[in-house]
Amino acid sequence: MKILFVRHGQTDLNNPRRMQGISDLELNEIGINQAEIVRNILEKYNIDFIIVSPLKRAIQTAQIINTNMHKKIIIDKRIIEMNYGLLEGKKYLPDYWDMDYDYKSINGENISDFQERIYNFIDEIKVKYPKKTILIVAHRRCIKNFQMLF
């Protein structure tokens, strides 16, 4: 199995950098251009299908990338970004990236629950699609966690 990971393009919460989490925003003009650039790069790969987070910014990125490939897009809620609770939309601070930060205490998602759903997703696709090339369009924290597994 081959997996290609792509982070969604830019939204208005990415610049200036804010805690976006599960906030469901579409790509801005820069994000659309970024997705088009990635589309041109990925056209040389023999991708079997695309798995994407259910958030608009990820779906829009996947659709742009898929413009010429015409591959099946599968939406999987397990790769939605982490819920940052009351920090959603707030200015990003490096302390918030700490893997021990307690988002659950501010109506967000527990880090271990987030990691469990990400790892469950990867374990499932490894068994289900052992000979496929898969493009996963997701989010920063998801991709960082995927990297820890490979």
124 is catalytic: no
Angle at 16 (CA atoms; ends 110, 37), nearest 5 degrees = 95
In the DSSP assignment, the letter for residue 18 is: B
81 is catalytic: yes
What is the Cα 81 distance to its own chain's centre?
6
Residue 18: strand pairing partners: 91
Of residues 26, 29, 43, 81, which has the active-site annotation? 81
Residues 6+ apart with CB under 8 A from 129: 1, 48
Residue 57 and residue 21: Cα distance in Å, rounded? 11
Residues identified as active-site: 8, 81
